Structure 1
Amino acid sequence: MSILVPTVPDSDQLHRDALTVLQPGFVGTEPPPWVLRHLAAGLGSVALFDRNVVDLDQLSALTRALRAENPDLLIAIDEESGDVTRLEAGSGSSWPGNLALGAIDDPALTRDVARELGRALAAAGVNYNWAPTADVNSNPRNPVIGVRSFGADPELCARHTAAWVEGLQSAGVAACSKHFPGHGDTAVDSHHGLPVIDVDLDVLRARDLIPFQAAIAAGTKAVMTAHIMIPALDPKLPATLSPTVLRDLLRAAPADGGLGYQGLIVSDAIEMGAIADTFGMGEGTVLALAAGADAICVGGGLADEETVLMLRDAIVAGVRAGRLDEERLADAAARVRTLGSWGRISAQGERPEPDLAVGLRAARRALRVVRAPGRVAPPVSERPYVASFSDEPNIAVGDVTPWGVAGMLADRFPGTRTREVSAAEATPELLDALVGELVAEAEGRRLVLVVRDAHRYAWMSAVLSRLVAARPDAAVVEMGLPQSEPVGALHIATHGAARVCGLAAVEVLTGQYGAIA
């Protein structure tokens, strides 16, 4: 039972509108009673994460139960494919992520991948996806975007963002292009702090806004805001809370210097540190709505009724105090309901089965393979030694989803030895001993070294360099952003850590598939 008691009945229109603009998550694989109760009282959206998904049959039953309370319900999921997957968190994604698609640079293929992903989501009753990531990854050391971006070139990101939007929405699932006005040039993860992008407006327009313009032209149903500070736009408020960013830039007509977007504007998760630790969740929600946001994402971390009621009551109090115009709230709620109606109508009619094979075909094309001159790298044919190196994943990716090639090789070759290596084992004082251990353990076996964003971690680069020097025949698989020079007798860049990217790499390692050299 909630510890917060509403002061007026839930049927009150103000309270209904306040509930409608929230997009909360919840815990469990069945709808909690409090969620069903608030759906009947006006809640317009719910958000699903990996904690809500067991398999497609269970997910379909869950979405049917939710929609029984509100046929126009927006059922959201954070399913980017690639490294960020909620649909297949337990196994890894059947579709490569954005960086892999950008490396291929075939917009038709990107459209196909997004369409098949959309068909899988639609078949499970999901009609709203917080994707694609439209950010231009202009900072290669970005701690939270990286492989989630199509790349560092604005025009490349633009054409693939548009293709992804078109493909997903052709399957009846609303796209939500993120993170406006661009999270690619940050060195801080907004889950933990407030990033500042100190560039002028000309750079912003020539770089970061280009993919969002393409997304809007492609008809993206929603745009998600970024919890970032851009002093050239607003020196006081982050983008999510800034009327200058949301109203004067995103909403305003092109003739007035804006992008002319008329669809749904949704905040990034309001409980993220960039907002919660600076303005507070309740205050941040009121400011975001007043600035022009139409919906508030919450519940990736705080997924309980108390959070929903706290935010609802903060919105109501903001209206009654004159800090949030009631017409602005009503307009936001109407936009949510309009998109919900689109989702219901789009779900009608025939639903083709998704073609899962397109994901592996795309992952194969994304591989970049370099074979070192003069070094022999025969196919792995028996019991290799696989060492995997990874730092802490960011919150968006999470620590649930498996990655790498160790398990796949172990399945093929019983007796394979595997080891996971962390930063704590590779301090300068321990480095010599660690390298010696790994070389000794791998003696008499093919050595496969698997890394993720090696360029971002000095310890990882140091271990990799020492191991390749000791074992020049080593094969290296980079499953993050391939910024470092290729090393090893065989170097495979997968451009992401989706399951299909690992499968494609294993095909090359074992000589089953000849990739691009």
Structure 2
Amino acid sequence: MGTDPGLRRLALGTLLAAYPGPVPPGWAVDLVAEGLAGHTLFGTNVHDPAQVAASTAALRAARPDVLVAIDEEGGDVTRLAHATGSPYPGNAALGAVDDPALTGRVYAAIGAELAALGITVDLAPTVDVNTADENPVIGTRSFGADPARVAVHSAAAVAGLQSTGVAACAKHFPGHGATVADSHHELPTVEASPAVLRERDLPPFAAVVDAGVASIMTAHIRVPALTGAGPATFSRAVLVDLLRRELGFTGAVITDALEMKGAALAAGGVGPAAVLALAAGADLLCIGARVDAGLVERVAAEIVAALRDGRLDRARVEQAAGRAAALAAGTRAAALAAATRAAGPSPITPTDLGYAAARRAVRVEGDVAGLGRPLVVRLDAATTIAQGRVPWGLGPHLAGSEEILVPAAEADAAALRARAGERPIVLVGRHLHRLPGGAALVDALAAAHPVVVVEMGWPGRWRPAGARAFVTTYGASHANGRAAAQALGLTP
């Protein structure tokens, strides 16, 4: 039986693909012309503003209402500034400052940059309530551990972002903040009752729905009381009963990347995952980062096959494609405005907003006066897939101080004390409370040497007993690094 072009186009209308490199290849542009909902940009697609604007213009030339999405959260998760680190603090820092108006201004600034480049959907903000200090994937991406505070800032972020014409996507429904596993690698389980979710995890989602958020992203997490053995992405109880009927959400439901193990392993592949997500009530299926024409065609073919054999109802897929198209229509004005600017110089100019915000977030416990020119030791550790390999630390902001990079597993207290000599040591790390050997290293250093600890991840409750000071930045962006160096008196 031949391929039904109408069904193929319908299936493509529910897919958010991706492509490699700084220039959209021919197949990526052709698929847009043939009905693909859009593409997500990753760091590999971003070299400079003019190049990104040219890429989005090429996609719009294929179809004016194409969706162009990106993960630009500020803070630790940035694509536009993946080579240097974001000039904006992330959500944890904004939550620590606790100025909702500032949160709105920061997200409006991010949105203005995206709109100027022709990007129409920001897969942000993260509105998860980070109630687990050991959470390996949310952490500083969250506004905090208090549902009420997270709700207020989530609504402010959505309002600021969408004031620029860029659609926001609040994530990860119904809440990824209580997990202690990374859904990129496995299917995390949250043992919580619906009552606990309503009190702890859902208030920020209710707040962004009230704020008019354009889209909401699903979580590849298992909540047995609601989802049974599978992830929320495949659960009608979560996506229809809870999100649409109870919270009243009418926008587009976007899946987290279906290539993630939390979805792909649970379904038996990206194609079957796409079918299960659509059947559960998802509208726009994010395939992932490692995408080529063959993968898109296989996923579309799986959807078409499911339509033919009854696993999917055509009305459900038409509804999904319609919501994806409505999302695109809502952002088209911003895209058209960007098109008129694409031929000219980039309107993006440096701003001090993010750096000032990051400075307000710094918390100093102890004494940091008179450090002089210390030895700065940055403990290197693995990053999450969401973060990627983005530069971080104090190095770019130091005036005369030596900085060394030490793999956390190889750090030796005696060797570091010998290297420092008479100089104090500033130990910089991320999530030191859960870094193997991190706390023991600090204790060993502080027992015989003046040490200041700079925590650039989620701080948790741990504090080093012998350290001269403990400095918390609530993030590791370029802005957070500069703020920490200023607080320590180490900048020029």
Same fold (TM over 0.5): yes
TM-score (norm 1): 0.90
- Kept after mapping to 2: 8 A contact 1:377/1:475: no
Look up the equivalent residue of 2:292 and give its one-letter code. Answer: D
Structure 1 residue 500 and structure 2 residue 479: aligned?
A: yes
Any gaps of 5 or more consecutive residues in structure 1?
Answer: 1-5, 253-257, 427-433
Distance 2:172 2:247 in 1: 15
Structure 1 residue 303 and structure 2 residue 291: aligned?
A: yes
Distance 1:323 1:441 in 2: 65
Distance 2:375 2:88 in 1: 27
Instruction: Tell me the equivalent position of 1:425.
Output: 410
* Equivalent runs, 1:246-395 vs 2, <5 Å: 246-252=239-245, 258-279=246-267, 280-300=269-289, 302-348=290-336, 356-372=351-367, 377-380=369-372, 382=373, 384-395=374-385
Q: Offset at 1:129?
A: 0.6
CA offset digits 1:209-264 (Å, max 9, x no partner): 11000010011100000001111112132100011111111111xxxxx1111000
Distance 1:212 1:96 in 2: 22
Q: Offset at 1:422?
A: 2.2
* Equivalent runs, 1:187-198 vs 2, <5 Å: 187-198=180-191
Instruction: Tell me the equivalent position of 1:431.
Output: none
Distance 2:248 2:349 in 1: 34
TM-score (norm 2): 0.95
Distance 1:135 1:311 in 2: 29
* Equivalent runs, 1:137-152 vs 2, <5 Å: 137-152=130-145
Structure 1 residue 396 and structure 2 residue 390: aligned?
A: no
- Kept after mapping to 1: 8 A contact 2:442/2:464: no
Moved more, 25-34 or 440-449: 440-449
Distance 2:7 2:94 in 1: 44
Q: Given the superposition, is the C-alpha separation of residues 228 and 438 from structure 1 closer, same or farther in structure 2, using an over 3 Å criterion?
A: same
- Kept after mapping to 2: 8 A contact 1:116/1:354: no
SS in 2 for 1:312: helix
SS in 2 for 1:450: strand
* Equivalent runs, 1:9-408 vs 2, <5 Å: 12-252=5-245, 258-279=246-267, 280-300=269-289, 302-348=290-336, 356-372=351-367, 377-380=369-372, 382=373, 384-399=374-389, 401-408=390-397
Q: Give the aligned length.
A: 482
Q: Offset at 1:349?
A: 5.4
Instruction: Tell me the equivalent position of 2:427.
Output: 449
SS in 1 for 2:471: strand
Q: Offset at 1:485?
A: 1.6
Q: Offset at 1:103?
A: 0.3
CA offset digits 1:170-201 (Å, max 9, x no partner): 01110000000000111110001111111111
CA offset digits 1:402-437 (Å, max 9, x no partner): 00113422xx22xx43322224315xxxxxxx1111
Q: Offset at 1:348?
A: 4.9
Distance 1:36 1:120 in 2: 23
Q: Offset at 1:343?
A: 1.0
Q: Offset at 1:283?
A: 1.1
Distance 2:491 2:441 in 1: 29
| Aligned partner of 1:471 among 449, 468, 481 | 449
Distance 1:92 1:122 in 2: 20
Instruction: Tell me the equivalent position of 1:439.
Output: 417
Structure 1 runs of 4+ off > 6 angstroms? none
Q: Offset at 1:512?
A: 6.5
Instruction: Tell me the equivalent position of 1:429.
Output: none
Q: Given the superposition, is the C-alpha separation of residues 371 and 512 from structure 1 closer, same or farther in structure 2, using an over 3 Å criterion?
A: farther
| Aligned partner of 2:439 among 461, 469, 472 | 461
Look up the equivalent residue of 1:317 and give its one-letter code. Answer: A
Distance 1:377 1:446 in 2: 11
Identical pairs, percent: 47
Any gaps of 5 or more consecutive residues in structure 2?
Answer: 342-346
Q: Offset at 1:35?
A: 0.6
Distance 2:350 2:197 in 1: 38
SS in 1 for 2:226: coil
- Kept after mapping to 1: 8 A contact 2:397/2:490: no
- Kept after mapping to 1: 8 A contact 2:394/2:482: yes
Q: Offset at 1:317?
A: 0.5
Look up the equivalent residue of 2:180 and give its one-letter code. Answer: A
Distance 2:381 2:409 in 1: 10
Distance 1:365 1:486 in 2: 23
Distance 2:204 2:55 in 1: 34
SS in 2 for 1:190: coil
